[in-house]
Structure 1
Amino acid sequence: MSALPWPPLRDALVGEEPYGAPQIDVPVQLNTNENPYGPSAAAAADIAEAVRGAALTLNRYPDREAHALRADLATYLNADGGQQLSEANVWAANGSNEVMLQLLQAFGGPGRVALSFAPTYSMYPEYARDSLTEWVVGHRESDFSLDLEAARRKVLEVQPAVVLLPSPNNPTGTALPPEAVAMLCEAAGNGIVVIDEAYGEFRREGVPSALEVLPRYRNLVVTRTMSKAFALAGARLGYLAAHPDVVDAVRVVRLPYHLSAVTQAAARAALRHAPELLGKVAELRAERDDTVAWLRAQGLEVADSDANFVLFGTFADRHAVWQQVLERGVLIRETGPDGWLRVSIGTPEEMTAFKSALVAVVEENR
């Protein structure tokens, strides 16, 4: 007789629910920070042709090192703050989620600690759990900024193998000040400091990318995704930039042929259309700033945002507000600290629908 339960799930996973934002079919979906503007006909045609070419070779395994894609990504990053990056500095995987998990598999594990500062991305503790890494969380200030001296002390105290910090932060949209990256890298010693720039292209004018200081710190990793600014969420392509030693370490834990030929072809085609696909970023930034101003004019608290979403509140019963907004055909996200809600930035028409729904709900609950 086996002493294992059925199914024989690991103890740490018993009672856990899989990650996922609600996927509800409503007219206005503003809950997963997608780009509301899809690829143009020209970009879609180029992607389709690239995929057609890849389809003719699907009897063969893909390039397991994704050499050409990594070189293309390095070229793109060099135009957005990178400092003479090459293929050797870049790694790619199925979304930045897989990149993060690979980092924890390579540098975390039993007897090691991963550290972040809450509120932060809800998947981070799951990466730690899945890689058998101890999870330790510090805390941000009431305005969601990071107290740099307190953060430095926390790093020195717990000596993490991996520090995970998004900039802009998810779910708050808060960007790290430039000096934070240097401070964290120096305090971490040989620990890896991951600056998650999934929303980096949406940062405000004058907010630098951590890519700019990458050559100074061998323990710095900057992660990006093509899901947001590139409007390529359905393709699942994330990547990192780091010292070649870090890239080589991650290669040890990657699964064989983890990145399909179709994904590589689609991503390379999208990069050829980067100026066009990123062309709506400025509009989304402007719409975000207008949304922040509008929400504050309604008397709500709003976090400063450098992302394509806005965290706002506070509500005594945020779930009730979320539900009532949903009943008016607008799906937003119930996430972050208690009392707060998050709205992704959509088209002007979608944002008008959101504002109308929220005004009606707030009036109804007065």
Structure 2
Amino acid sequence: MSAIPADLPLRSDLVGEEPYGAPQLDVPVCLNVNENPYPLDPEVVEAICRRVRKVAPGLNRYPDREHEDLRRALADYLKGESRACLGPEQVWAANGSNEIMLQLFQAFGGPGRTVLGCDPTYSMYPEYARDTFTNWELAHRLSDFSLDMDTTIERIKALGPAMVLVTSPNNPTGTPLPMENLTRLLEVCSQIRVAGAGPQARPIVVVDEAYIEFRDPGTPSAVSLIGRYDHLAVSRTMSKAFAFAGARVGYLAASREIIDAVRIVRMPYHLSALTQAAALAALEHTDLQLARVDQLRRARRATAEWLAGQEYHGRPLTVVPSASNFILFGTFPDRDAIFEAMKDQGVLIRAVGPEGYLRVCMGTDAEMERFRQTLVGVLEGS
């Protein structure tokens, strides 16, 4: 990125900042951004084309700004996927879960407000805070990357945050959030006053479930608690398990009151007619869209077992247990050197998260074999 010239009146807090983004490089094996590596089924592609053809003649008109058909379809999906009985008024969609999160920060953050996260976690969260002039605070996780519940609750009581933001499974560690811990956070937040807000305001708890479909079967989702807790908001995406990263569709499940608050800050007609059409077509073929999830789970388990058997300089690798489609592993005194050596041989992973760790996303069987062969060579040659 070129330097911003001094004669442009860039906000002072943005001077020296770089745009967020994982490397997008033309290499044979890309395992760095946690996508579903398998292309859409031809039947889904044809369904998308049919729906787009249907709406294309009307693109001279603005789309349904409330995207009511899509909200109904998402509510139906959540009922089947997580047994959550939500009405369409309890669901909201946007251009990826990134826009969902930004809308939450816009609605509940701002000057004089605080959002509490638990690190290590997704590196975009502090950028949402920066962009909305919200104070970003942290409670550090335990050494196994699970939540330090006592410390987190102490921070909630001390800060009075407008939002408590937790991620399950967590990015970049893959750590799930047990439901009993989430329930405990919800109960605590129901008794805490929000600093900088009215006397009745209580923190909302936001759970980012971008990778939730990769959890082990039988594990409940936070959306199942929405009927019990009006201050719970659950963000999801179609980018990961749903193999829909290029379509940019994220969604929020919450009480009607939280959804209405988000609707206040949304841009007019923020979700295009083409996006709505593509998402509806994908949701009509949920089984096909999620057909590879079991295979990716198996790849995660097999890769974790294999990594645990590898050594670096005579020491076994550390492999962080994951409920997602990626694995965090290490530790390396110079992880950037390992990353660069892998990249030079055509395998792109990610140097992200706690110092010394690398992260690999699950790819196709052929891609994972290439990853294993390349990593062995790099470790032996380092």
TM category (shorter chain) comes to over 0.9
Alpha carbons 1:70, 1:87 under 8 Å: kept = yes
Q: Secondary structure of 2:303's match?
A: helix
* 1:305 positional shift: 0.4
Match 1:282 to one of 281, 294, 297: 294
Deviations 1:289-346 (A, max 9, x none): 1111110111210111000000000001000000001111100011001100000000
One-letter code aligned to 2:309: A
**Which 4+ runs in 1 deviate beyond 3 A?**
none
One-letter code aligned to 1:108: G
2:365 aligned with 1:348? yes
The residue aligned with 1:115 is 116
Relative to the length of structure 1, the TM-score reads 0.97
Alpha carbons 1:152, 1:183 under 8 Å: kept = no
Match 1:205 to one of 196, 217, 234: 217
The residue aligned with 1:319 is 336
Q: Secondary structure of 1:80's match?
A: helix
One-letter code aligned to 2:351: E
Alpha carbons 1:155, 1:184 under 8 Å: kept = no
When structure 1 is superposed on structure 2, of 85-94 and 188-197 the one drifting more is 188-197
Correspondences of 1:265-280 after superposition (within 5 Å): 265-280=277-292
* 1:220 positional shift: 0.3
The residue aligned with 1:71 is 72
Alpha carbons 1:33, 1:228 under 8 Å: kept = yes
One-letter code aligned to 1:220: L
The residue aligned with 1:80 is 81
The residue aligned with 1:235 is 247
Taking the aligned partners of 2:217 and 2:318, their CA distance within structure 1 comes to 23
Deviations 1:207-258 (A, max 9, x none): 2211111111101001110001110000000001000000000000000000
* 1:79 positional shift: 1.1
Taking the aligned partners of 2:49 and 2:327, their CA distance within structure 1 comes to 33
* 1:28 positional shift: 0.4
2:304 aligned with 1:292? yes
One-letter code aligned to 1:331: L
Q: Secondary structure of 1:310's match?
A: strand
Taking the aligned partners of 2:264 and 2:118, their CA distance within structure 1 comes to 28
2:299 aligned with 1:257? no
* 1:156 positional shift: 1.2
One-letter code aligned to 1:281: V
One-letter code aligned to 2:339: W
The residue aligned with 1:35 is 36
Correspondences of 1:46-57 after superposition (within 5 Å): 46-57=47-58
One-letter code aligned to 1:109: G
Deviations 1:275-296 (A, max 9, x none): 1110110000010011111101
* 1:82 positional shift: 4.1
* 1:6 positional shift: 2.3
Q: Number of aligned pairs?
A: 362
Taking the aligned partners of 2:363 and 2:282, their CA distance within structure 1 comes to 21
Q: Secondary structure of 1:65's match?
A: coil
Q: Secondary structure of 1:56's match?
A: helix
* 1:52 positional shift: 1.4
One-letter code aligned to 1:252: I
* 1:39 positional shift: 0.7
Taking the aligned partners of 1:207 and 1:9, their CA distance within structure 2 comes to 46
When structure 1 is superposed on structure 2, of 263-272 and 48-57 the one drifting more is 48-57
One-letter code aligned to 2:254: A
Alpha carbons 1:162, 1:191 under 8 Å: kept = yes
Taking the aligned partners of 1:263 and 1:209, their CA distance within structure 2 comes to 26
Alpha carbons 1:160, 1:188 under 8 Å: kept = no
* 1:10 positional shift: 1.0
* 1:83 positional shift: 2.6
Relative to the length of structure 2, the TM-score reads 0.93
One-letter code aligned to 1:151: T
When structure 1 is superposed on structure 2, of 187-196 and 87-96 the one drifting more is 187-196
Alpha carbons 1:201, 1:229 under 8 Å: kept = yes
One-letter code aligned to 2:349: I
2:131 aligned with 1:130? yes
2:339 aligned with 1:339? no
* 1:147 positional shift: 1.8
Alpha carbons 1:112, 1:161 under 8 Å: kept = yes
The residue aligned with 1:168 is 169
Unpaired runs of 5+ residues, structure 1, are none
When structure 1 is superposed on structure 2, of 6-15 and 119-128 the one drifting more is 6-15
Deviations 1:14-67 (A, max 9, x none): 111000000010100000000011111110010111111121110000000000
Taking the aligned partners of 1:64 and 1:186, their CA distance within structure 2 comes to 35
Alpha carbons 1:104, 1:127 under 8 Å: kept = yes
Alpha carbons 1:300, 1:314 under 8 Å: kept = yes
Q: Once superposed, what is the RMSD of the aligned Cα atoms? A: 1.1
Alignment identity in percent?
A: 56
Taking the aligned partners of 2:105 and 2:249, their CA distance within structure 1 comes to 18
